[in-house]
Structure 1
Amino acid sequence: MPQLDFFGLAMLEVVLAGALAGVVGVLVVLRERAFFTMSLTHATFPGAVAAAMLGVSVPLGAAVAAVALIAVAVGIGRIRSQGPAVASGVMLTAGFALGALLQSLAPLPIDVESFLVGQVLAVTGADIALTAALLVVAAAVWALAGRHLVFSSVDERGYRRAGLAPWVPEALSLALIAATVVAIMPVVGAILGVALIVAPAAAARLVVRDWRWMLVLAPVVGIASGVVGLLASRWLDIAAGGAIALVAALLYGAAWIVGGPRDRRPAPAPRVRGTIGAETP
């Protein structure tokens, strides 16, 4: 993309990353995977550090670490006395500790801050291509399997009774979340990624109830968070990743003010017509 300068590339990346985070964030919110996502953002840190030490692609290293630690988390979660919350907690602390250990053992200094809070002004065409490709994949998954994803999210027992395998949408969800965490690392880093993924979708759910409208509103909020945060970082000379995450949090607060007072009860589960034709709450 030779026609764009570094700021133009950064702006294109935050637009794509905000849209991707919004689309996948809807899945995170519906499946109540916010804590898992936070753990996963931390778990990619050692893979990024190891990749930098070896001189290979940082997204590739982060992806390998994410896959490995998801496997560990799934294994721990299957232990009856533990559960997914314990697995996510272990993954969060162990992943971040491993990254810090690798950074201390690195023979040459590593810019850890860029992994933690992002360095969007240094994105490349390859970063943008990865984000764009994942956005297309995420949109295709929602278009082809959206009803399955929502049905299994709001009523897993009903999904199982319908003769469907809940592990399929679960595996698909984990793969999309992990890929999104890796893709947005250049924008908000390993620590702040959860804000861009969760806040726009959570804000959308406060304003609208139908999951289809969430898929429209959440990417808009994600894009607004990225664009406004990037512009604010330029005007105020502050870190772009932190500015983007803060704007996402502020937009969530605004959505709570708008949508919260109308219903202080827990948000009802979205309604979806399952594949067997029954309306599922």
Structure 2
Amino acid sequence: MAEARTQTIVVTGASSGIGKATARLFASKGWNVAATMRNPAAESDLVESAALKRIALDVQEPDGPRAAVAAALEAFGRIDVWLNNAGYGAFGPVEAGTRRQIERQFDVNVFGLIACVQAVAPHFRANRAGTLINVTSVGGLMTVPSYALYNASKFAVEGLSEGLWYELGALGIRVKVIEPGAIATNFGGRSLDALDYSAMPDYAPFMEKVKAARKRITENSSPPELVAETIYRAATDPSDRMRYLAGPDARRFVPLRRLLGAQAQMRLMRRVFRI
């Protein structure tokens, strides 16, 4: 019997949080891992080996995704799973967002993700196989106060993923979506951009309540390793299932929204945030 081929995953945003946890988990499972990040030279936790390569990728760079695909293929010869995990979040009132912040929100979370899909799709099509996994959020299914721009970008990826499920599925390529709830990562420090509403004092009482609720919620966040396990489960699931919730809060709130309806759930969210 022929020896089973080692599978390869490409992880975007692998320098921290969910991406790093995923790179570590797949490496521990015997996979080849192409761990992409904006600055591989600054990474010290993910040590390169024959089965793990650090690759430069800034999804906002026009040629970045295609170069990352080429580097992963040079290292491992084939890509079996591509994980779109790199993300950015704008936090605060929409009115306070600058054009640059709003554009970055969609450049990273939507347009950069699309560029990655376009870069890896030819390889998947040639093989008539492959799995594309997009990390969205519970915030792609329901909104969270003061995250309107971030939610809008994740809603977009949810819709995009459904369309890709049809298009790529017809070619033997699986499309999966991971929907985490609150996760204990440093997303809030390095990838979250607080919008400056200081010139709009009307928002101050609202934002103080939101920040207090956010603090309460993040204290009970799930670890990124939980999301990594969900990603592994999706990557190894041969079915055409698309969505995978990650975290107890995700499994609680999303069914509740479906049960109550959007408007009732939004009123409930008002009570949770005390706004």
Pick the structure with more strand per residue: 2
Higher relative contact order (CA 8 A, sep 6+): 1
Q: Give TM-score, length-normalised by structure 2.
A: 0.31
Q: Give TM-score, length-normalised by structure 1.
A: 0.31
